[in-house]
Amino acid sequence: MWLSRFLLYITNNEPVSRHEPQFDIAFFIINTVAVVLGSVYFGYIREWQWIPFLVIEYLWALDTLRHNRP
């Protein structure tokens, strides 16, 4: 039981977020930089098929942030 509650907290998947807003802002910035730089990198090495995966993960992360805020 403890492990499942811990994982829900770490992944920010609780019904109401207990993370601080500063954490959410940092999470947003880091994810935005990762999707942009990752897309540039995958385009550079011509591995285009991985860019949709990055975008899907990015949108999932943003949806998790938005969904868990009261």
Q: What is the pLDDT of residues 7-64, one digit of tens each?
A: 777 776 667 666 677 777 888 888 889 999 999 999 999 999 998 998 988 888 877 7
Which DSSP string do the residues of the chain spell out, in sequence order?
A: -HHHHHHHHHTT-SSS--S-HHHHHHHHHHHHHHHHHHHHHHHHTT-GGGHHHHHHHHHHHHHHHHHT--
pLDDT of residue 64: 72
How far apart (Å, rounded) are the C-alpha atoms in residues 25 and 21?
Answer: 6
Res. 68 pLDDT band, cuts 50 70 90: low
pLDDT of residue 44: 94
